[in-house]
Structure 1
Amino acid sequence: MDVLSRAVMCFCLMGWMTLGWSNAAQYTSINMKRNIDKLKVHYKISKDQLFNGNPVFPKDTFEDSEQRVLMSVVLDVYLSIFSQMLNQTGDQEVRERLDQVKGKVQETQKHYFLGRVPELRTHLQNLWAIKTSDTTVQGKALSEFITIYEKASKLAHEIHLKKDNRRKRRQAQRLKSHIM
């Protein structure tokens, strides 16, 4: 294969990877897309409202383990939104489409994301509700600090080791591919 053919193939592959992999719709059925398109027509909002620079669910840069928790909560919010929409509409066709979409979200969440997220959410809400200005809370927090800090340090070390091991595996694979 000549250099030009390799360059064209590389360019096509890069384009396919960028466009193909970034396309979130590749896992969405035609029926689901059709339902969403019909619902968007029914719940139409102005372009100014749609493209105001403030998405409902902003993009994030969390790691895989964090993404699972985050996605479960996002799907939970969608279920709540769809439930509200169902309660607010009398249109039978809209209700059927919302039921179908909501069912798919529930199925996806149940099979891939649910786990212990409800308990985790409750735990996080309790943590955010701690009254940090309360002197009793401050005293208790100080007495628990060393134990918590040791646990956090151990977890940070384990995360660092996993990242380091992944880096070493990638380097070994690169070296192996260059040798062959």
Structure 2
Amino acid sequence: MDVLSRAVMCFCLMGWMTLGWSNAAQFTSINMKRNIDKLKVHYKISKDQLFNGNPVFPKDTFEDSEQRVLMSVVLDVYLSIFGQMLNQTGDQEMIESLKYVKGKIQDLQKHYFLGRIPELRTHLQNLWAIETSDTTVQGKALSEFITIYEKASKLALKFHLKKDNRRKRRQAQRLKSHIM
């Protein structure tokens, strides 16, 4: 599937997600809905393409802390898609709608999600590019291991305690409501 087809499918899925989910609708302005509707008409794809069982952004089962990072990256992907769509259209009405939607995404990302995605992405790419078969890398990794392991263990404990505290609060609430 070429880039334009993916972009159109992604865009239609985003429109469906934005307009189709009832709890999402409370955050979507009338202006945003109008612009999305214009773009959906312009970038229309077949129902077979739209509902082929392969969403662009599949549902996930990550925890809240992971959701924030993930959503920030998803918004970054949307910015890239809309940027591509802007470069590929000459229709002034579509350009205005795309700029409006892109601006809203940028505002949302800037104010509520991680603004340091480019640095995070670069850092992750550098980590994935580490040459694990290199003996120098292996030696350095061994010398850094205890420090990293301690840091990871502290982080794991922090998340475990947070999760345990939530469980205790839920149990206390159930006990309180059961007594009354």
TM-score range, shorter chain: 0.7 to 0.9
User: What is the CA RMSD across the aligned residues, in angstroms?
Assistant: 12.1
* Secondary structure class of the residue paired with 2:150: helix
* Secondary structure class of the residue paired with 2:21: helix
Q: How far has the Cα of 1:147 moved from its partner?
A: 1.4
Partner residue, 1:144: 144
Q: How far has the Cα of 1:53 moved from its partner?
A: 1.5
Q: How far has the Cα of 1:23 moved from its partner?
A: 3.4
Unaligned runs of 5+ in 1: none
Distance 1:54 1:151, change over 3 A: same
Distance 1:16 1:138, change over 3 A: closer
- Distance in 2 between residues matched to 1:9 and 1:41, nearest whole Å: 13
Distance 1:51 1:73, change over 3 A: same
Q: How far has the Cα of 1:133 moved from its partner?
A: 1.7
Deviates more, 1:13-22 or 1:59-68: 13-22
- Distance in 2 between residues matched to 1:6 and 1:34, nearest whole Å: 22
Q: How far has the Cα of 1:60 moved from its partner?
A: 0.8
- Please tell me whether Structure 1 or Structure 2 has the larger radius of gyration of its CA atoms: 1
Q: How far has the Cα of 1:25 moved from its partner?
A: 2.2
- Distance in 1 between residues matched to 2:2 and 2:85, nearest whole Å: 58
- Distance in 1 between residues matched to 2:26 and 2:38, nearest whole Å: 19
Distance 1:43 1:19, change over 3 A: closer
User: Under a length normalisation based on structure 1, what TM-score does the superposition of the two structures give?
Assistant: 0.84
* Secondary structure class of the residue paired with 2:133: coil
Q: How far has the Cα of 1:144 moved from its partner?
A: 1.3
Q: How far has the Cα of 1:2 moved from its partner?
A: 60
Runs of 4+ aligned structure 1 residues displaced above 6 Å come to 1-21
Deviates more, 1:14-23 or 1:105-114: 14-23
Deviates more, 1:41-50 or 1:110-119: 110-119
User: Under a length normalisation based on structure 2, what TM-score does the superposition of the two structures give?
Assistant: 0.84
Deviations 1:136-166 (A, max 9, x none): 1112112211111111111111111111111
> Contact 2:13–2:50 at 8 Å: present in 1 too?
no
Distance 1:176 1:94, change over 3 A: same
